[in-house]
Homo-oligomer: A and B are copies of this chain.
Amino acid sequence: MDIAAILKEIDAAMRLSPNRGRVADYIPELAAVDPGQFAMSIVLADGTQLSVGDAEVPFSIQSVSKVFALALALGRLGDRLWDRVGREPSGLAFNSILQLEHERGLPRNPFINAGAIVVTDAVLSTHAPREYLGELLRFIRTAAGDDDIHINQGVARSETETGNRNFALAHYMRAFGNLTNAPELTLGAYFHQCAVEMTCAQLARAGRFLMGVPDMPRLVSPERVRRINALMMTCGHYDGSGDFAYRVGLPGKSGVGGGILVIAPGRASIAVWSPGLNEQGNSKLGTEAVEMLARQTGWSVFG
């Protein structure tokens, strides 16, 4: 299978796409990103990496960071983490508070905002925010095999200023006893975590530990790899998770910066980036590109 040729074809198709979706505009740093960009990068089981497009342009990984934060938190706390967050798809938008009222402060899964805030909060029970962010960066850099990965402080600051909905979620969970630290402290760390910047090439490498392939960096146990992938499959795209599974057939996690990390277990770690979003808040071209890739490679886990 000529992955390079497939990638080129995808790149060409995406470059021609008339509709690129809408760039997130709730903070100036994201609103200013050129919507014309597109990149895809793949690391294969033998370690080969292939990239097309703007694969060396750093972008804000945003909610893709939830995957690394979850892996880190499970390493620190083990299955105790599941006392504070569920493992079910939410059936609602990424920042819904309705579900929290219904289930008394217990978020449905670690990939909706409320759940990711709890995951960060859980690690902060033993780490100061600065330590936590240091450790998370180390985790990501080790995974990517690249030390040139940083937090964009301007983005973190802007998130804090416009983060009322996340503050509402955090205060609400604290009212139910499911937030150990002050909302300001946990959200401070959370907003910085979301402000990590990576290139598409770096992100594809950082996803290698989820490929379930022996030669790749082993940051978590094989069983945990499977479980994180399962969560990405059922909950990785908010209220578009079912459709992503239906169309692509691979576990993935998207971010509002337009990035998506997708895993083809045993085969590849795939990163795709294009800033314009579809109605569910996932990268429009990114989703289409991964769908095209899955179709042409037959990498769907579903047969």
* 0 or 1 for each of A193-236: is its CB under 8 Å from B? (1 = yes): 00000000000000000111100000000100111011101110
User: How many angstroms from the CA of A85 to the CA of B165 in the assembled complex?
Assistant: 19
With A167-B171, A212-B302, A302-B301 known as contacts, the answer to whether A246 contacts B231 (CB < 8 A) is yes
Q: For chain A, residues 81 to 139, give those with C-beta under 8 angstroms from any C-beta of chain B.
A: 86-92, 96-102, 108-109
A77 CB-CB contact with B under 8 Å: no
A159 CB-CB contact with B under 8 Å: no
A251 CB-CB contact with B under 8 Å: yes
Assembly of this chain: how many copies? 4
Among B90, B97, B245, point to the contact of A233 (Cβ < 8 A).
B245
* Across-interface contacts of A165 in B (CB, < 8 A): 171-172, 175
* Across-interface contacts of A99 in B (CB, < 8 A): 91
Which residue of chain B is the closest to A167 with respect to CB atoms? B171
Interface size counted on chain A using CB atoms at 8 A: 57
A164 CB-CB contact with B under 8 Å: yes
Is the Cβ of A226 less than 8 Å from the Cβ of B300? yes
Which residue of chain B is the closest to A266 with respect to CB atoms? B303
User: How many angstroms from the CA of A121 to the CA of B86 in the assembled complex?
Assistant: 34
* Across-interface contacts of A101 in B (CB, < 8 A): 96-98
A287 CB-CB contact with B under 8 Å: no
A252 CB-CB contact with B under 8 Å: no
Is the Cβ of B89 less than 8 Å from the Cβ of A242? yes
Which residue of chain B is the closest to A177 with respect to CB atoms? B164
Is the Cβ of A89 less than 8 Å from the Cβ of B234? yes
Residue from A92, A98, A246, A303 whose CB has the most chain B CB atoms within 10 Å: A303
User: How many angstroms from the CA of A220 to the CA of B33 in the assembled complex?
Assistant: 44
User: How many angstroms from the CA of A231 to the CA of B90 in the assembled complex?
Assistant: 16
Which residue of chain B is the closest to A229 with respect to CB atoms? B302
Among B233, B235, B246, point to the contact of A302 (Cβ < 8 A).
B233
User: How many angstroms from the CA of A201 to the CA of B235 in the assembled complex?
Assistant: 33
What 10 pairs across the A-B complex have the smallest Cβ distances? A91-B91, A212-B303, A265-B303, A89-B89, A301-B301, A88-B242, A229-B302, A168-B172, A164-B175, A168-B171
